């Protein structure tokens, strides 16, 4: 069965502004605010003291016996304080905190009031009905910048706008503590003035209802209003700390209310706010969408004082991505490999990495060497996933787990090539580490490359939008075109940068591993091998090396042992290997 609190959160979230709150004295009890009846009893004690009488143990009964009438808030005030100013000063002591009380957090908005204010800020609540005299709800709303329309007298109803046009409205059924016309006695609570009845009928008919802190026992006029309401367009939720009384249960049954047992109002509204915000988060776009991420990284890169914020930004997104990539959705032992699942995983990886790629592309293009550690640490984190599931494991899924890291390397590497940041490129290829076949950490580019991402039996499954089989390199080429378009707007420039990056990737790996193969040194081969360049990309780089010598960028960055001879030898060996393609 669904938790009633979950149902309440869904109801508020799905029907924004369609629910009204009905708040009783229980909502303010934690703040130390007395109920109206408690104020009356204390006033009776003051009257008795003025008359040198003992009103205990039952002040109300003493008042009836002595004065021959029911205790009345207005007449009691008149007996103790003769002028409006004196009455206001007297009442302030019950409802407004002293300096000491303020220090203790008494007579101030509670956590419940503050949570309600946040729900109002979010637009989830717009109408609040209350039997309380205090102004804690108004204070909580004012703290978040909202000035509600307050209706506490019949005169205010006549001049008020329709609820649909009046913003946030608080209807104080029993009045305000600074107005001597507030209702306290059973007789006063038996009947409302007709304008208030009409307003209340409209609210109860047009809105759903959430009841908190109201017993339902004493306010006959309010009970009657709920009883006569003809329709139930929206649900009623009645929250209570203990089982409802017979009168309250009868009302709940009539309204077909969902009854929720709760610890207290603070817990109720705090939990409700959390759940509504969670629903809102699920439906909102990711706060670091690619475009926002790019703008944020750019701003932080040019602000000297923003280094910590940039680091936190990258770290937060890296951890989010790490968690998503290591979720059960990508288990390696629970799904027999087939094309549909293969393409689902590839496409899901692409989607999850979108924001991180945007951040790395921007950072590697515009960032200086001081920021390089941020990009390499991010790649390092993603390069070493959590341990694989126990039991039987499919090699197809194990290999494909490397794909997100390869995506990040390509994005960062292409941006570095596009901007001529070869020091950053060198770091991207060598600083992050990953586990090789020997379970020892190696430079990431020697472990993760295009030809060890897709298992041999699965190569036929990777296809483009037209259904044609393509290589992982071709897939990445198409996928990264968008993020690089700002820096390489011409397709010809993008293609050249992509091919140049892939060739340098293979050359660095050949130099690191020096695996003899086909008369040369093996290195990962990119899609440039099937494209026509005049001259071929390897010849263009050979010309650069001959021209620049020890000043060639990757050599200056410390690769190839910083030796021109080693670079020349490694390139010769790698080119010999490429001749087989």
Q: Is the pLDDT of residue 578 over 60?
A: yes
Q: Are residues 84 and 41 in the same domain?
A: yes
- Could you give the angle at the alpha carbon of 544 between the alpha carbons of 540 and 548, nearest 5°? 175
Q: Are residues 244 and 304 in the same domain?
A: no
Measured distance CA(50)–CA(79) in Å, rounded: 10
Residue 528 token pair? 């440039």
Q: Decide which of 388 and 336 is more confident.
A: 336
Q: Are residues 86 and 181 in the same domain?
A: no
Could you tell me which residues are beta bridge partners of residue 443?
A: 433
Look over the chain and give the mean of its residue pLDDT values, rounded to a whole number. Answer: 87
247, 267, 283: which is the final residue of a domain?
A: 283
| Structural domain range at position 510 | 492-581
According to the model, what pLDDT value does residue 47 have? 85
Helix axes 472-479, 403-419, angle to 10 degrees: 60
Q: Are residues 85 and 160 in the same domain?
A: no
DSSP 244: P
According to the model, what pLDDT value does residue 180 have? 61
Residue 485 token pair? 């378009």
DSSP string, 96-165: S--HHHHHHTTTS--HHHHHHHHHHHTTSEEEEEE---S-HHHHHHHHTT---EEE-SHHHHHTPPPGGG
The 10s digit of each residue's pLDDT in 445-464 is 888 998 889 888 888 888 87
Window from 4-8, 25-29, 249-253, 293-297 with minimum mean pLDDT: 25-29
Q: Are residues 213 and 264 in the same domain?
A: yes
448, 472, 489: which is the final residue of a domain?
A: 489
Percent of the chain past pLDDT 70, that is, above it, reads 93
Q: Are residues 461 and 504 in the same domain?
A: no
Q: Are residues 111 and 178 in the same domain?
A: yes
Q: Are residues 78 and 210 in the same domain?
A: no
Q: Are residues 13 and 154 in the same domain?
A: yes
459, 489, 519: which is the final residue of a domain?
A: 489
Q: Are residues 455 and 403 in the same domain?
A: yes
Residue range 196-208: average pLDDT? 91
- Could you give the angle at the alpha carbon of 287 between the alpha carbons of 283 and 288, nearest 5°? 130
Q: Are residues 94 and 23 in the same domain?
A: no
**Helix (H/G/I), strand (E/B), else coil: 23:** strand
The 10s digit of each residue's pLDDT in 134-175 is 899 999 998 877 889 999 888 888 877 788 777 799 999 888
Exposed e or buried b for every residue in 492-516, given b needs 16+ CB within 10 A?
A: eebbbbbbbbbbbbbbbbbbbbeee
Number of domains present in the structure of the chain:
4
Q: Are residues 432 and 546 in the same domain?
A: no
Measured distance CA(211)–CA(21) in Å, rounded: 6
Window from 67-81, 107-121, 542-556 with minimum mean pLDDT: 67-81
The 10s digit of each residue's pLDDT in 425-446 is 999 999 999 887 667 788 888 8
Q: Is the pLDDT of residue 380 over 90?
A: yes
Instruction: Read off the pLDDT band of 572 (50, 70, 90).
Output: very high
Q: Decide which of 206 and 340 is more confident.
A: 206
């Amino acid at each position: 069965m669904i938790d009633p609190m979950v149902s309440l959160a869904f109801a508020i979230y799905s029907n924004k502004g369609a629910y009204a709150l009905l708040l009783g004295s229980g909502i303010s009890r934690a703040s130390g605010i007395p109920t109206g009846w408690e104020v009356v009893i204390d006033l009776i004690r003051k009257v008795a003291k003025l008359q040198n009488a003992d009103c205990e143990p039952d002040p109300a009964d003493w008042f009836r016996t002595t004065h021959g009438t029911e205790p009345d808030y207005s007449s009691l005030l008149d007996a103790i304080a003769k002028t409006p100013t004196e009455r206001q000063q007297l009442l302030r002591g019950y409802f407004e905190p002293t300096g000491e009380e303020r220090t203790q957090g008494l007579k101030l908005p509670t956590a419940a009031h503050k949570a309600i204010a946040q729900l109002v800020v979010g637009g989830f609540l717009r109408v609040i009905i209350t039997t309380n005299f205090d102004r804690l709800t108004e204070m909580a709303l004012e703290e978040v910048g909202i000035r509600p329309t307050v209706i506490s007298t019949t005169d205010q109803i006549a001049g008020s706008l329709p609820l649909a046009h009046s913003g946030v409205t608080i209807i104080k059924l029993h009045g305000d503590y600074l107005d001597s016309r507030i209702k306290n006695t059973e007789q006063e609570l038996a009947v409302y003035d007709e304008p208030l009845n009409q307003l209340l009928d409209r609210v109860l008919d047009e809105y759903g209802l959430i009841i908190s802190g109201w017993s339902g026992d004493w306010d006959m006029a309010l009970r009657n209003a709920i009883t006569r309401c003809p329709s139930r367009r929206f649900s009623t939720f009645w929250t209570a700390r203990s089982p409802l009384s017979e009168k309250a249960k009868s009302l709940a049954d009539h309204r077909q209310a969902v009854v929720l047992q709760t610890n207290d109002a603070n817990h109720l509204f705090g939990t409700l706010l959390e759940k509504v915000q969670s629903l809102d988060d699920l439906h909102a776009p990711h706060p670091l969408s690619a475009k926002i991420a790019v703008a944020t990284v750019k701003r932080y890169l040019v602000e000297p004082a923003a280094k910590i914020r940039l680091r936190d930004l990258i770290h937060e997104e890296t951890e989010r991505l790490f968690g998503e990539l290591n979720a059960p959705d990508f288990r390696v032992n629970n799904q027999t490999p087939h094309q549909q699942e293969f393409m689902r995983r590839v496409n899901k990886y692409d989607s999850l990495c979108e924001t991180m790629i945007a951040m790395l592309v921007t950072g590697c293009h515009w960032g200086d060497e001081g920021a390089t550690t941020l990009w390499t640490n991010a790649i390092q984190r993603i390069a070493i996933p959590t341990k694989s599931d126990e039991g039987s494991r499919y090699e197809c899924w194990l290999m494909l787990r490397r794909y997100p890291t390869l995506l990040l390397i390509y994005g960062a590497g292409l941006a570095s090539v596009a901007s001529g940041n070869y020091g950053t490129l060198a770091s991207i290829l060598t600083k992050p580490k990953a586990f090789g076949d020997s379970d020892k950490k190696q430079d990431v580019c020697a472990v993760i490359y295009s030809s060890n991402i897709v298992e041999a039996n699965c190569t036929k499954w990777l296809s483009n939008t037209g259904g044609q089989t393509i290589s992982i390199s071709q897939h990445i080429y198409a996928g990264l075109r968008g993020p690089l378009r700002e820096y390489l707007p011409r397709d010809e420039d993008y293609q050249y940068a992509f091919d140049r990056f892939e060739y340098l990737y293979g050359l660095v790996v050949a130099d690191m591993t020096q695996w003899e193969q086909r008369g040369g040194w093996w290195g990962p081969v990119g899609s440039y091998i099937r494209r026509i360049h005049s001259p071929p990309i390897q010849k263009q780089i050979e010309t650069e090396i001959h021209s620049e010598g020890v000043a060639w960028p990757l050599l200056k960055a410390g690769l190839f042992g910083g030796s021109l001879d080693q670079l020349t030898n490694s390139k010769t060996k790698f080119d010999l290997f490429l001749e087989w393609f």
